Structure 1
């Protein structure tokens, strides 16, 4: 029998480009793969998967390199990287776009925005569209247009359903619809290697954006005003708030409105009248300028980081706001933040079991962030994040699968809520042998062979 060969751009530890090739966005917990294959097409993906199985080689799948816990890397083993597969095919007549799974958000927004259309997705330009979508996909257009996965029409995936070789599977509303359901919030890397995604498009033109900054003295008032306003205001408006450390001493609310600056100014009245804002501005800009504004260059740069998160289904009581303030008054470093984004709107108009993304009733998504410079600072930073998560847990629920945290004990329920049962059924059907596994992957129902 003819042995399978790896095809595509192959990088090993002996190659000069290995360090760059193995480096993810999170430098914490570094990994050193034996081989990294940058697939150029679906055939390369099939060959890589068959090669890994034939050689009994553990593997991981990677696209945008933003896995918070570096689950897209491993020591020794093979990394199947699809980032070179990044073609974008627009069909303006049908108002759809087919995107190869290696494309990042920056290139997707640029290609679509130049044609006056878009999909709702995240903010950091180097994030891969596939990982974002498979986990759900929240961003600055979530409230008017839904999650990224709510706009997903079809996927193409290289999978393995038994002992045979890898095959290409299509999933849409009419064919393998259970796999499409699972791909809308069931997390990346669980069922196979997604190679292409087809989305419905939304027309977009100029949008209005805003930024309001308060000082530390307005911490409680500013957050409380924002949380009681952001999930309930006009559905065309999505916003975020970042609570910074006491040393920096800023609370910053920002957002994007699919409408005019004059309308936005009226909608912002509750925030503008809260406390004593230091800086308030509202602008009407071309859509791509808004994309640029919300991009976070530091988030696209590799760094030592720890992140975790949760969902908020009821506004925080005063005691919870005070706890956040206390944690940010004594952080492990000045760059530590707590971040929230408003949900509701189109996100909440879908039933929790309609897609694998479960937390449809959440008012907000929340993230705890820290980054540091020296490896010896790791322990205190990780401890801070875990302490915040535990302290706020009486007021929060679950966690967004795209904010994975290896310290969450009941992570299956935290990520997927009541949808985990059906997700395990889909896993058992499309990957009964548990070929696609990593420390927090969905297990099949029955013991694999």
Structure 2
């Protein structure tokens, strides 16, 4: 029987573009693959999977290069990269869009905008649509339209078949429905290689956005007002608050409202009455302008960083707020921050077990962030993040699988709550030999979890 050959754009260490090809967003965990194949179509993906299995070469899957722990890279193995498969087909009549797995959010938003529609997704424009969706997907339309995965109608996936083969399958509400359940919050790379996703899209035109900033002295009051307002206000309004290191002297709330600026000005009054805002802006803009407004350029440049996170189910106590203040007063550098996004609204329409995304009852997603420039700074930054996560653990729950943290010991329950056992059943059904594996990948029932 003839052996499978790799097809697509192939990059090896001998090629001049290898450094660029192997580099992910997180530079603090460098990896050196033996081969990177940039797939151009489904056949290239099938061939790559078959080749890896026939040659017993370990492999990883990659799309947007945003895996915080670089789970999409490995040393001396094969990286199956789908980023050059990024075609988008939108049907304005049925309000659906079929998006290839390599599309980045910037391209998705721009092309859908040409049809006057969008999907609720993230803010970092280079993030890949597939990883974001499979982990859940939160962003500035979340409270109105739900998570990205809540708008998913179907996936197409290459799965590992018997005899070291590969086959293409679909999963939706009616076909392979257990896999479809797992693909809405069960994390990327666990069950197979998703090649395309079909979404329900939403008409959109003009929206209103706002930003308000305060100085450090208003830390406690502003955060307390925001956390008791943001998850409970009009569901057409989703907002974020970023608490920066003390030396930066800046607290910032941003938000997006699907409605007129006059109404938004009324809705944000509780925030304007908190502390002494030093800057406030409200404007009505075409929706596509918000993509640039909310995008963080620094969030898309490769750098040395560590992130982690949690969910908040009820407003934090004053004691917990003071803990955050204390940590940010003693931050390792000015890049350290604690970022929050309001949830609730459409996210809580589902029961925690309706999809693999478990934290439906959370009112806030909380992310811990730090970055640095030199290797000697790494240890104190990583330790700061881990101490912060542990210090807030009594007041928070779990972690978002798209903010993975290699130091979390009970990661299955932390990411998936009570959905772990069902996810392992799906894994056992679709990938019983654990072909798709990486640190913190869901194991089938014939494998130990730790």
> What is the TM-score normalised by the length of structure 1?
0.99
Tell me the equivalent position of 1:75. Answer: 75
Tell me the equivalent position of 2:33. Answer: 33
Tell me the equivalent position of 1:119. Answer: 119
For residues 142 and 240 of structure 2, the distance between their equivalents in structure 1, rounded to whole angstroms, comes to 11
User: For 1:92-120, what per-residue CA distance to the aligned partner results, in whole angstroms no more than 9, with x for missing partners?
Assistant: 11110000000000000000112210000
Shift of 1:164: 4.7
For residues 398 and 183 of structure 2, the distance between their equivalents in structure 1, rounded to whole angstroms, comes to 19
For residues 49 and 375 of structure 1, the distance between their equivalents in structure 2, rounded to whole angstroms, comes to 35
For residues 447 and 405 of structure 1, the distance between their equivalents in structure 2, rounded to whole angstroms, comes to 21
Tell me the equivalent position of 2:19. Answer: 19
Tell me the equivalent position of 2:334. Answer: 334
Contact 1:161–1:432 (CA<8 Å) still a contact in 2? no
For residues 189 and 22 of structure 1, the distance between their equivalents in structure 2, rounded to whole angstroms, comes to 18
SS in 1 for 2:392: helix
For residues 181 and 164 of structure 2, the distance between their equivalents in structure 1, rounded to whole angstroms, comes to 25
For residues 29 and 108 of structure 1, the distance between their equivalents in structure 2, rounded to whole angstroms, comes to 29
Instruction: Could you list the structure 1 runs, at least 4 aligned residues long, displaced by more than 2 angstroms after superposition.
Output: 161-164
Shift of 1:162: 3.1
**Does 2:93 match 1:87?**
no
For residues 163 and 237 of structure 2, the distance between their equivalents in structure 1, rounded to whole angstroms, comes to 49
Shift of 1:29: 1.2
Query: Structure 2 unaligned runs (5+)?
Result: none
**Does 2:141 match 1:162?**
no
For residues 289 and 315 of structure 1, the distance between their equivalents in structure 2, rounded to whole angstroms, comes to 32
Tell me the equivalent position of 1:46. Answer: 46
For residues 215 and 301 of structure 1, the distance between their equivalents in structure 2, rounded to whole angstroms, comes to 27
**RMSD of the alignment, in Å?**
0.8
Tell me the equivalent position of 1:229. Answer: 229
Query: Structure 1 unaligned runs (5+)?
Result: none
Tell me the equivalent position of 2:8. Answer: 8
- Write out aligned runs for 1:148-227 (5 A): 148-227=148-227
Tell me the equivalent position of 2:97. Answer: 97
SS in 1 for 2:155: strand
Contact 2:231–2:342 (CA<8 Å) still a contact in 1? yes
**Does 2:436 match 1:442?**
no
User: For 1:390-449, what per-residue CA distance to the aligned partner results, in whole angstroms no more than 9, with x for missing partners?
Assistant: 00000000000000000000000000000011000000000000000001000001249x
Contact 2:53–2:164 (CA<8 Å) still a contact in 1? no
For residues 69 and 436 of structure 2, the distance between their equivalents in structure 1, rounded to whole angstroms, comes to 17
Tell me the equivalent position of 1:304. Answer: 304
Shift of 1:330: 0.9
Contact 1:143–1:235 (CA<8 Å) still a contact in 2? yes
Shift of 1:376: 1.2
Tell me the equivalent position of 2:294. Answer: 294
Tell me the equivalent position of 1:106. Answer: 106
For residues 163 and 67 of structure 1, the distance between their equivalents in structure 2, rounded to whole angstroms, comes to 30
SS in 1 for 2:25: coil
Tell me the equivalent position of 1:270. Answer: 270
**Does 2:392 match 1:392?**
yes
For residues 291 and 3 of structure 2, the distance between their equivalents in structure 1, rounded to whole angstroms, comes to 47
Tell me the equivalent position of 1:258. Answer: 258
Shift of 1:195: 0.3
